[in-house]
């Protein structure tokens, strides 16, 4: 995905004060501490082994295979709780076999998780799904834990796993946020968030209004996280953000809205990407830590 502001040689680094060890199972490469595992898997649709996999399309086969290998890795390594997942697939909005590729991805993700007895609603990870450039491989990276997180929904929105059938025969499998508590450390993972209230997209065609509505949804999630974790005090000014902008021409508008709301010192990565719904122009995800102490997993941006 093209980086839209700052140095294009940009890396997202997750660090911890605890000792970490590397490993690999099948295509899944990971690094783990005693409590957490951070993994990544990459698979091109042209390289997928479709033998014995029910989905017909290469995208569905790749998705089912990726999630199968993720689940197998977590079972083998002993990290049962999938906390946060980032999904990047090329041409997410393109039509394929008479439906959108994102809907095919949702169906195959359900098949892959269900095959390992994973929940498809309720206790499901925070997640994002964005469109990468054409001919890219599918890339999924994820965080898992030995301790069960608390999954948080947005009071302003219908849970994604309860969307009505108009959004596809298989609902997206993700929670709006996940709160991981380890000792006195609280880490909040906010899923990809957009201008959706209830289950409907709002402010179609108006990028500034969509950005403000997205921030309102993030604020609602922060309030809900602070409510359910009574010793937490998450604040949007201290979050680390990743912002996906569909149209390059909208970057200045999005940047202005975020600077006005968050201030000039907010930690933000801007990327150009397609959003899971074609009428959405911007999507924002975020991570926050409360309090920040040695040993907690923390995001950073480095060039």
- Interacting residues of 118 by C-beta distance below 8 A, sequence separation 6+: 71, 82, 124
Q: What mean pLDDT, rounded, does the chain reach?
A: 92
Residue 6: inside a domain: no
Strand order in the sheet with 177-182: 150-152, 177-182, 185-193, 282-290, 240-245, 267-272
Convert the pLDDT of each residue in 210-243 to its tens digit: 999 999 999 999 999 999 987 788 999 889 999 9
pLDDT in tens, 97-111: 789 999 999 999 999
The whole model's pTM is what? Answer: 0.93
Domain enclosing residue 66, as ranges: 18-293
Residue of 45, 69, 100, 283 marked active site? 283
Per-residue model confidence (pLDDT) at position 50 = 59
CATH code for the domain in which residue 124 is found: 3.30.1330.40
DSSP codes of every residue in 27-92: TEEEEE-SSEEEEEEEE-GGG---TT-S--SHHHHHHHHHHHHHHHHHHHHT--EEEEEEEEEETT
pLDDT-above-90 percentage for the chain: 79
pLDDT at residue 12 in the model: 84
Does residue 259 lie in a domain region? yes
In a domain, 7, yes or no: no
What digits encode the pLDDT tens for the residues 247-272?
Answer: 999 999 999 999 999 998 999 999 99
- The pLDDT tens digits for 137-164 are 999 999 999 999 999 999 999 999 999 9
How many domains does the chain divide into? Answer: 1
Active site residue 34: no
Confidence of residue 184 (pLDDT cuts 50, 70, 90): confident
Enter the DSSP assignment of 133. Answer: P
Would you list the DSSP string of 175-211?
Answer: BSEEEEEETTEEEEEEEEE-SEEBTEE-STT-HHHHH
> 291 preceded by cis ω (within 30°)?
yes
Whole-number pLDDT of residue 51: 60
pLDDT computed for residue 185 by the predictor: 82
Q: Is residue 271 part of a domain?
A: yes
The DSSP string of 215-226 is HHHHHHHHHHHH
| Within-domain flag for 2 | no
- Say how far apart CA 105 and CA 62 lie, in whole Å: 9
Position 303 in a domain: no
- Residues 11-44 have pLDDT tens digits of 888 888 889 999 999 999 999 999 999 999 999 9
Q: What is the pLDDT of residues 6-19, one digit of tens each?
A: 777 888 888 888 89
Residue 252 lies inside a defined structural domain of this protein:
yes
Cα(23)–Cα(276) distance, integer angstroms? 32
Contact (Cβ atoms closer than 8 angstroms) between residue 59 and residue 45:
yes
Buried b (16+ CB within 10 A) or exposed e, 103-122: bbbbbbbbbbbeeeebeeee
The percentage of the chain sitting over the pLDDT mark of 70, rounded to a whole number, equals 93
């Amino acid at each position: 995905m093209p980086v839209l502001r700052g140095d294009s040689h940009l890396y997202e680094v997750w660090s911890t004060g605890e000792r970490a060890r590397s490993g690999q199972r099948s295509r899944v490469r990971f690094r783990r501490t005693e409590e957490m595992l951070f993994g990544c898997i990459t698979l091109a649709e042209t390289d997928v082994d479709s033998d014995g996999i029910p989905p017909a399309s290469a995208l569905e086969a790749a998705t089912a295979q990726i999630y199968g290998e993720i689940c197998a890795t977590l079972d083998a390594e002993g990290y049962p709780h999938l906390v946060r997942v980032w999904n990047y697939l090329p041409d997410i909005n393109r039509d394929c076999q008479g439906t959108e590729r994102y809907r095919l991805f949702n169906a195959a993700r359900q098949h892959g998780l269900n095959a390992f007895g994973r929940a498809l609603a309720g206790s499901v990870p925070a997640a994002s799904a964005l469109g990468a450039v054409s001919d890219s491989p599918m890339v999924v990276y994820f965080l898992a834990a030995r301790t069960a997180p608390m999954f948080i929904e947005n009071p302003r929105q219908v849970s994604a796993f309860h969307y009505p059938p108009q959004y596809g025969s298989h609902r997206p499998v993700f929670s709006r946020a996940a709160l991981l508590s380890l000792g006195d450390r609280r880490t909040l993972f906010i899923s990809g968030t957009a201008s959706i209230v209830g289950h409907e997209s709002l402010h179609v065609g108006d990028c500034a209004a969509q950005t403000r509505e997205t921030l309102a949804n993030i604020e609602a999630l922060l309030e809900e996280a602070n409510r359910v974790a009574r010793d937490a005090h998450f604040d949007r000014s201290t979050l680390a953000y990743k912002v996906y902008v569909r149209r390059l021409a909208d970057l200045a508008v999005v940047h202005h809205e975020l600077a006005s709301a968050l201030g000039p010192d907010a930690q933000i990565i801007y990327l150009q990407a397609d959003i899971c719904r074609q009428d959405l122009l911007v999507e924002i995800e975020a991570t926050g830590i409360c309090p920040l102490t040695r040993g907690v997993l923390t995001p950073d941006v480095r060039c």
